[in-house]
């Protein structure tokens, strides 16, 4: 009988790591390494879990494309009925190209340009999340010129510490995001007067990778108070965008369940009878992705052992940028009771920060072995670059026993062809 040990959507079967019904070694042969691998059923399962928990609330789920914007990934969520949270014209185009209906698209982001506003107005998006007075005025001007009315939600900064990593906290006074809650009435009054603007909602997003509900509870309660104050001032608010941020278990953290989240939403804003929008990204995609990499060399230093692998900080930036932890699985499972020893997993990039894991306990590994850097489906491929002239990392999708490369590895010729030497240098 198969020995099956479940690790999110990636399981060991008879000592080999599989992605759904495809052995990971076969993916490495097909796509080469490094490559991201996503498990379609894993993506669907996460979406359905959250959608079910929220089913009794009038919620539009707008998948935050920034977490993983491959068209095939977006298409999976589009087919499940998702909307999209986009933050640039590029993301807007991706959402539309993947089949997300425009009336389920929220255009967020602190610095939308006028041409991006025009593109989103032309597409007829559900709402613009506006983060400052000048941005509101710019949108009014663009909509006026086009003879259209822009549906607007004001993103409020509720001054709540999300209790997450400093670099992904967004709802504290002093963070660049949102309109200070103390200025919300004034900006709302302006929004009701400006031509081309229809003020429909309020929005908050206090940060990413939240592992507790209480910061949400505080933020949503402040939002509810604000909505009541606005209504008393004759400003009707019918939609609330509750942001994203639901955490995932990188280190086996015990996290609030989607049902607990839904209960808290009902308790804090349920009585307002608003339509709701939420914008999760990471929750849907993190666990369903691995970064598959091959060991190039094992370097035995005098004080440290290094596995130099073919993936690097340009392919997965999170460890270098945030000190993030990603569990690592050898594709060949070690025999039970094999002793583990610490090793640094590093890439070939010429930076000391190019570390994927520090002093990670692994069974013996050798050059040529495959490793899966797990929980890498969110903020992995989207944050990749070509630093050190390394071609952009490819992406592969597995769905049951099907496998497809959903973004091929660019050739070095394509990499070089992007640059132009001006004729005066000839």
* 309 or 378: CB nearest ligand LLP: 378
What's the min distance (Å) between Cβ of 147 and ligand LLP? 29
CA–CA separation, 214 vs 162, rounded Å?
Answer: 9
Torsion of CA 83, 87, 91, 92, to 10 degrees: 60
* 279 or 399: CB nearest ligand LLP: 279
* 65 or 307: CB nearest ligand LLP: 65
Q: Which of residues 189-208 bind ligand LLP (CB under 6 A)?
A: 205, 208
Q: Which of residues 55-84 bind ligand LLP (CB under 6 A)?
A: 64, 66-67
Q: Single out the residue of 108, 147, 151, 95 nearest to residue 127, CA to CA.
A: 151
Pick from 104, 112, 222, 282 the residue near ligand LLP by CB under 6 A: 282
Pick from 10, 47, 216, 379 the residue near ligand LLP by CB under 6 A: 379
Q: Which of 9, 11, 62, 350 is catalytic?
A: 350
Binding residues for ligand LLP, rule CB under 6 A, total 22
CA–CA separation, 384 vs 311, rounded Å?
Answer: 11
Q: Name the region of 47 (left: φ>0; alpha: ψ -120 to 50; beta: rest).
A: alpha
Helices (H), 32-132: 40-53, 71-79, 89-97, 114-123
Q: Which of residues 218-247 bind ligand LLP (CB under 6 A)?
A: 243-246
What's the min distance (Å) between Cβ of 9 and ligand LLP? 18
* 146 or 168: CB nearest ligand LLP: 168
94 binds ligand LLP (CB under 6 A): no
CA–CA separation, 28 vs 105, rounded Å?
Answer: 35
How far from the centroid of its chain's Cα atoms is residue 288's Cα? 12
What's the min distance (Å) between Cβ of 152 and ligand LLP? 15
SS3 of 268-321: the string is HHHHHCCEEEECCCHHHHCCCEEEEEEEEEEEECCCCEEEEECCCCCCCCHHHH
Q: Return the range that interacts with ligand LLP (CB under 6 A); candidates 6-14, 35-43, 113-121, 274-282.
A: 274-282
Cis preceding-peptide flag for 34 (omega within 30 of 0): yes
CA–CA separation, 179 vs 181, rounded Å?
Answer: 6
What's the min distance (Å) between Cβ of 366 and ligand LLP? 31
What's the min distance (Å) between Cβ of 106 and ligand LLP? 8
What's the min distance (Å) between Cβ of 111 and ligand LLP? 12
108 binds ligand LLP (CB under 6 A): yes
350 is catalytic: yes
* 62 or 362: CB nearest ligand LLP: 62
Rounded to 5°, the CA angle 189-192-193 comes to 90
86-118 CB burial, b ≥16 within 10 A, e <16: bbbbebbebbbebebbbebbbbbbbebeeebbb
Point out which residues bind ligand LLP (CB under 6 A). Answer: 64, 66-67, 85, 108, 168, 170, 205, 208-209, 243-246, 279-283, 318, 322, 379
* Residues carrying an active site annotation: 350
């Amino acid at each position: 009988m198969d020995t099956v040990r479940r690790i999110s959507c990636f399981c060991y079967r008879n000592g080999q790591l599989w992605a759904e019904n495809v052995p990971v070694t076969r993916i490495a042969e097909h796509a080469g390494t490094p490559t991201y691998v996503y498990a379609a059923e894993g993506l669907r399962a996460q979406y359905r879990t959250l959608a079910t928990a929220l089913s009794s609330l009038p919620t539009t789920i707008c998948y935050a494309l920034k977490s993983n914007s491959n068209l095939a990934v977006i298409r999976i969520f589009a087919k499940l009925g998702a909307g999209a949270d986009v933050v640039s014209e590029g993301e807007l185009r991706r959402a539309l190209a993947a089949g997300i209906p425009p009336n389920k698209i929220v255009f967020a982001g602190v610095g939308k340009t006028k041409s991006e506003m025009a593109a989103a107005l032309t597409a007829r998006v559900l709402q613009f999340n506006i983060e400052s007075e000048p941005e509101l005025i710019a949108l009014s001007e663009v909509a006026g010129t086009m003879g259209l009315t822009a549906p607007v939600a004001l993103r409020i900064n509720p001054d709540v510490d999300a209790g997450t990593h400093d670099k992904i906290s967004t709802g504290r006074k002093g963070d660049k995001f949102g309109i200070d809650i103390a200025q919300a009435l004034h900006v709302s009054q302006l929004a009701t007067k400006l031509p081309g603007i229809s003020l429909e909602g309020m929005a908050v997003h206090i940060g990413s990778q939240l592992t507790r509900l209480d910061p949400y509870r505080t933020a949503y309660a402040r939002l509810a108070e604000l909505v009541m104050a606005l209504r008393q001032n004759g400003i009707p608010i019918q939609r609330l965008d509750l942001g994203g941020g639901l955490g995932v278990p990188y280190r086996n953290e015990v996290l609030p369940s989607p049902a607990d989240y839904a209960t808290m939403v009902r308790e804090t804003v349920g009585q307002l009878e608003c339509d709701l929008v939420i914008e999760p990204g990471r929750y849907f995609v993190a666990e369903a992705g691995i970064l598959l990499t091959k060991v190039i060399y094992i370097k035995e230093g005098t004080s440290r052992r290094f596995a130099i692998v073919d993936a690097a900080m340009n392919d997965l930036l999170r460890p270098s940028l945030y000190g993030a932890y990603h569990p690592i699985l050898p594709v060949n499972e070690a025999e039970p009771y094999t002793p583990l020893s610490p090793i640094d997993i590093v890439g070939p990039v010429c930076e000391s920060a190019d570390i994927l894991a520090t002093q990670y306990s692994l069974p013996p590994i050798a050059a040529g072995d495959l490793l899966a850097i797990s929980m890498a489906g969110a903020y992995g491929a989207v944050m990749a670059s070509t630093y050190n002239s390394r071609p952009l990392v490819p992406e592969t999708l597995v769905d049951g026993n099907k496998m497809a490369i959903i973004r091929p590895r660019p050739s070095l010729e394509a990499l070089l062809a992007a640059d132009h030497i001006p004729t005066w240098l000839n």
